[in-house]
Amino acid sequence: MLKNIIFTGGGSGGHVIPAITLISALDRNKYNLYYIGGRKSIEKELTKVLEIPYYGIYNGKLRRYFSWENFTDLLKIFWGIFQALIIMLRFRKNETLLFSTGGFVSLPAVIAAWVTGKKIFIHEQTSRVGLANKISSYFATKIFISFEDSKKFFPKDKTFFSGYPLRDACFTKKIGTVNIQNIDINNLKKPIIFVTGGGNGSTLLNELIKKHLEILTKKYFIIHQVGKSFIKEYELLKNDSYLPVPFLGDEMIDVYKLATIIVSRAGAGTVCELIELQKPTIFIPLKIAQKNEQYHNAMEAQKRIGAMVITEDELHKYDLNQVIEDLLHSEIKASEVSQRKRAKDFILEEMVKL
């Protein structure tokens, strides 16, 4: 009988948010919940709100190219596996499930869970499989994918199209009160452009907005998630129509809803949320993402809701102000399928079956 569910995954917010969504939906009277992540990774900070035990382990980044860091990181991975083994030995195998949302931080935990005989579920958020999840799939009991096109990367007999586990706020038109830095976002007079390069920010998007700031702020109010490492620079540009923020948490969905248009990178979570919300969006995929995964994520949004996709190589050909105007006057397609049942509930039901 399942009693313990241990989550792992991280290295970026995109791997952590679906785990948080699932953890928040689980009954803590029935299950003991835990998280294994990096000692100093973003998941340690993001999971604090969950108030569950957190185990920080060493981890190394997996690269598909030659780097001298591969040698030192390999040692970190082996040390992380040893640490994860010590953790896993505390739990009985027939009472414990490891759920991985990917990222290089997850691999030591997955291997340790397999060695100690635990059931392993993994979820792949992107349309193109990450290296950590590709390796983890050989140890997994079940594999869940966000996009049907991802099936070809995994063993067919244990792969299930679940969709992406979206936050409940994506499925209601209700908008909460959003107050950021003492600014009442709900009652702004100008239409809102929300710009996000992900939790860590994006140099490319940041510089793009800086370049067009003067002309855009004449008509729009810009909320710009710049990333913690960029906030000091962009706070100097703050004015009555431009609000830079380091990071948005639970208020993110409400900001999406309030925005007239969104300019964003194309992480899987962001893409899936904006498809469900059917928001006019300009996606500028990260060029160096593994297997160009962000481009393929963005193309899913173009197919489903008519989102605009501009590659980094093509960006210089466009005038951002004109692209925004054109998108606002275009028709948004209706999203084909709500992901409410196909993701969070589907995965939770599979857990309960254990």
pLDDT per position as a tens digit, 59-115: 876 665 566 666 677 788 899 999 999 999 999 999 999 999 999 899 999 999 999
- pLDDT of amino acid 207: 97
- pLDDT of amino acid 72: 73
- pLDDT of amino acid 273: 94
DSSP assignment, residue 52?
Answer: -
pLDDT surpassing 60 at residue 340: no
**What residue spans of the chain are helical by DSSP H?**
13-25, 42-46, 69-88, 107-115, 131-136, 203-216, 231-235, 252-258, 268-277, 293-305, 320-328, 346-353
- pLDDT of amino acid 286: 94
- pLDDT of amino acid 160: 95
Tell me the two tokens of residue 234. Answer: 């962009």
The pLDDT confidence band at residue 309, using thresholds 50, 70 and 90, is very high
| Matching fold, domains 4-165+340-353 and 170-328 | yes
Mean pLDDT of the chain, nearest integer: 92
Alpha-carbon radius of gyration of the chain: 20
Tens digits of residue pLDDT in 163-190: 999 988 999 999 999 999 999 999 999 9
The CATH architecture to which 4-165+340-353 belongs is: 3-Layer(aba) Sandwich (3.40)
Q: 72 versus 231: which is more confidently predicted? A: 231
Residue of 120, 173, 130, 127 lying closest to 150 (CA atoms): 127
Q: What is the CATH number of domain 170-328?
A: 3.40.50.2000
DSSP assignment, residue 320?
Answer: H
- Residue spans of the domains in the chain: they are 4-165+340-353, 170-328
For residues 107 and 62, is the Cβ–Cβ distance under 8 A? yes
pLDDT surpassing 80 at residue 4: yes
> Measured between alpha carbons, how far is 1 from 32 in angstroms, rounded to an integer?
12
- pLDDT of amino acid 2: 93
Q: How many CA atoms lie within 13 A of 2 on its CB side?
A: 21
Tell me the two tokens of residue 307. Answer: 């989102």
pLDDT surpassing 90 at residue 255: yes
**pTM listed for this prediction:** 0.85
The pLDDT confidence band at residue 292, using thresholds 50, 70 and 90, is confident
Lowest pLDDT segment from 90-94, 187-191, 282-286, 328-332: 328-332
